[in-house]
Amino acid sequence: MKIGIASDHGGYELKEIIHPFLTSLGHDVVDFGPDHLDNADDYPDYVIPMAKAVAAGTVERGIAICGSGVGACIAANKVHGARAALIGDHFSAHQGVEDDNMNIICLGGRITGYAVAEELVDVFLKAQFTGLERHNRRIAKVKELDK
């Protein structure tokens, strides 16, 4: 699977751990940055291009990481076609994809441990949207807000 990953300074360390983890699983990773630690950078500069790539289908799924994960999630969800959620538990990592067709997982680099982050990302990437009528109906109602 082709995966986009982006962070800011608050998520940089976790991004640098998740990236090789993804490649070890056989995924093709597109790193949207940053390419070095810069405490003055801003998450929208990296997360928004990654979310646009997910929405355009250039990458299949995305991983956005900032200090808490909140800012990255807010920024990603401003992109039409991005469906991002801040995830901190196993159930939501797969259920968000299965029921809500989530295509971007957001993590807090300062609050999510490395082993937990790897597990959440793995579960997120293995999950598939069920496509059930009730889920499509709910997603359609949310999409109406984009008009």
DSSP letter at 9 equals T
Query: How far apart are the C-alpha atoms of 55 and 133, rounded to whole Å?
Result: 22
CA distance 132 to 127: 14
**Nearest-angstrom CA–CA distance, 43 and 112:** 17
d(CA 24, CA 18): 10
Exposure of 129 in the CB half-sphere (CA atoms within 13 A) = 14
Mean pLDDT of the chain: 97
Maximum separation of any 2 CA atoms in the chain, in Å? 45
Q: Mind listing the pLDDT tens digit for each residue in 76-96?
A: 999 999 999 999 999 999 999
The active-site residue out of 66, 84, 104, 127 is 66
Q: What is the pLDDT of residue 102?
A: 98
pLDDT of residue 145: 86
66 is catalytic: yes
pLDDT at 56 over 90: yes
* Residue keyed to tokens 């490395």: 114
